[in-house]
Structure 1
């Protein structure tokens, strides 16, 4: 299907190569990128295409050439933006470049957050798959993690108390359009700068704590302290400007807990789990269960 669409648009297939992506199949030519839904039927690509029309140019989203449905599969063809996947180049970046990349990721995300909510809502997800939609759903997810051996009962109790504070604070948090999966794999890097945010299929209307959590985790999550320390000053600046608009510490921590719950449940159920992801999620949850802000405590302390 990808080959047929590319041929229809006169693309040279000689240098086409498979791209990254775990929810859609992606191929890249010198000038074009095509994403095809992995399964037939309703998907996120055509909805994302409509949402992309609302994004400010500062986001850097690639220009869309065409989109449609072929053999039941949604597809979107876009211009290829010059750059490298930030996750792939991250190991080669020095501390200053990493700090610059994080701040520039957030600056582009801020332009996403200023999109008119009423205009974006019909084209964003009604809810993110990463976060329970109610206290009852969150409590049931915690129970399942205990049953699967991912959490101790005492940890689930501590996390439940943190989530009680989240649900209490959530109604007072302003909402905006979030990227919904703001991370280095969805970021393009070129000549020492972030040039684009990609893949808005998980975009959702919610407090911007959803996006802020991803940035904070880069600097304050588990991992090599020496590697994360240089990022912390940059993320402190981001959080100082954004935390109140994100709903405050309880909202930020709540979204972080629920995301790590999703990661841990996913890896526990996987046939070939990512052991690093599973270990990091378990470590994040164990720390949050203590009730003092967990790995984010150094950032959130007065």
Structure 2
């Protein structure tokens, strides 16, 4: 049996770590342990096809703990995984822990390329149904999950920080940064527009949708969730629909190398309320400024795969492709035909 007191997150064998987690959770030792995600701040394991264990090193601030509170609060009202144990004290283990019941199914990202349009449309309808339930939760139940600083102030500060950082980054097109700074300066007052505040997921993409046999099983990964204007949810969906490749593993990129306008069209069909905010086009452009800047920055970072070391230099072909995608996203968001978004002038 693992010695909990002597577990080292950086050195111990994963099996030893998981054994220690199960011991802490009071769960009997089991057999098969499969790692399904390893990178950044998170490690994710499946144990005997019955449990999912998520380990986080705590560098994410308190988002991991907040996600746990959100899942416990909305369980039974929105399709989400059930937490059976969590610990964020880091007093008995040197990392944050979440143990969840495993839900049978697979991420929609793995299945999408095999579906016809009729099947795809049904899945988007199912996603919209769950988002409506999420957005419809009484704020009194989740108010404690909000932030003390007003949302518009936090977002404005974040965009300003992104622009300032980009202005000092020689790898990002200087003219685009100047344009975005000017656009933000002229239109940032639109962030203060009255808008329905709801609990949003803020990371809707096909990797975070669990499905099985044509049914949506669960929404996953609420680490970016928060109380936000309802149209902030739309910005993340738009970004995914235009650059789906950045949300998938390298082995799946060939299925997601083009924008998916039909997906956005189906979101508009099944959840039109997302598209009805005043000054919608201006607000969406403001929300997407950090994503546009990140597209240029990440273009210089090679995408890691199982047969490629992190230290490998990016190839010229990959760099050109990713830079082109970054420019395309900029022209898409600020173009005259921002799809499905009314291009109204800022008053």
TM range (shorter): 0.7 to 0.9
What's 1:169 paired with? 190
Q: How big is the shift at 1:278?
A: 5.7
* Secondary structure of 2:44's aligned partner: strand
- Equivalent-residue separation in structure 2 for 1:77 and 1:246 (angstroms): 41
Residue 214 and residue 238 in structure 1: after superposition, are their counterparts in 2 closer, same or farther (change >3 A)?
A: farther
Deviations 1:175-208 (A, max 9, x none): 2211121211111011112211011111122112
Rg larger for: 2
Could you list the per-position Cα deviations for residues 97-129 of structure 1 after superposition, in whole angstroms to 9, with x for gaps in the alignment? 2222223223212222223334424335778xx
Give the TM-score taking structure 2 as reference length: 0.71
Match of 1:4 in 2: 20
Which residue number corresponds to residue 116 of structure 1? 138
Partner of 1:192: 214
Quickly say closer, same or farther: Cα 1:280–1:236, change in 2 above 3 A.
Answer: same
Deviations 1:201-241 (A, max 9, x none): 11122112232123334445588898725434313314633
**Rounded Cα–Cα distance in structure 2 between residues aligned with 1:126 and 1:189:** 36
Counterpart-to-counterpart distance in 2, 1:247 and 1:213: 13
CA distance in 1, matches of 2:97, 2:130: 25
Question: CA–CA distance in 1 between the matches of 2:94 and 2:260?
Answer: 44
Equivalence for 1:88: 110
Q: Indicate whether 1:181 and 2:226 are aligned.
A: no
Partner residue, 1:13: 31
Task: Select which of 228, 245, 261 maps to 2:260.
Answer: 228
Q: Which stretches in structure 1 are left out of the alignment for 5+ residues?
A: none
1:169–1:251 contact (8 Å) kept in structure 2: yes
In the alignment, the residues of structure 2 paired with residue 6 and residue 36 of structure 1 have an alpha-carbon distance, to the nearest angstrom, of: 12
The aligned residue for residue 203 of structure 1 is 225
Q: Is the 8 A contact 2:172 2:296 kept in 1?
A: no
> Deviation at 1:245?
4.6
2 CA distance for matches of 1:59 and 1:83? Answer: 17
Residues 79 and 245 from structure 1, CA distance in 2 versus in 1: closer, same or farther, beyond 3 angstroms? farther
Cα 1:76/1:257, change in 2 over 3 Å: same
Match of 2:42 in 1: 24
After superposition, the CA RMSD in angstroms is 3.5
Which residue of structure 1 lines up, in the alignment, with residue 340 of structure 2? 299
Gaps of 5+ in 2: 1-16, 246-255, 303-310
Give how far 1:58 is off. Answer: 4.4
Change in 2 beyond 3 A, CA 1:87/1:145: same
Distance in structure 2 (CA, Å) of the matches to 1:222 and 1:51 = 26
Contact 1:188 1:194 in 2 (8 A): yes
Q: Which has the higher contact order (CA 8 A, sep 6+)?
A: 1
- Picking from 43, 48, 57, the partner of 2:76 is 57
Shift of 1:279: 4.7
C-alpha distance in 1, partners of 2:301/2:278? 31
Q: What is the number of residues matched between the two proteins?
A: 294
- Name whichever of 109-118 and 202-211 sits farther off: 109-118
Is 139-148 or 264-273 further displaced after alignment? 264-273
| In structure 2, C-alpha distance between the alignment counterparts of 1:11 and 1:264, rounded to whole Å | 46
Measure how far apart 1:40 and its partner are: 7.1
Question: Structure 1 residues 176, 227: closer, same or farther in 2, change over 3 A?
Answer: closer
TM-score (norm 1): 0.80
Q: Contact between 1:132 and 1:258, CA under 8 Å: does it hold in 2?
A: no
Shift of 1:259: 2.6
Counterparts of 1:281 and 1:200 in 2: how far apart (Å)? 26
> Following TM superposition, by how much is the alpha carbon of 1:147 offset from its aligned partner in structure 2, in angstroms?
4.1
- Give the aligned partner of residue 160 of structure 1: 181
Distance (Å, rounded) in 2 between the aligned partners of 1:120 and 1:246: 25
CA-to-partner distance for each residue in 1:44-87, whole Å, 9 max, x for gaps? 33322212122153421111111114423110111001110122
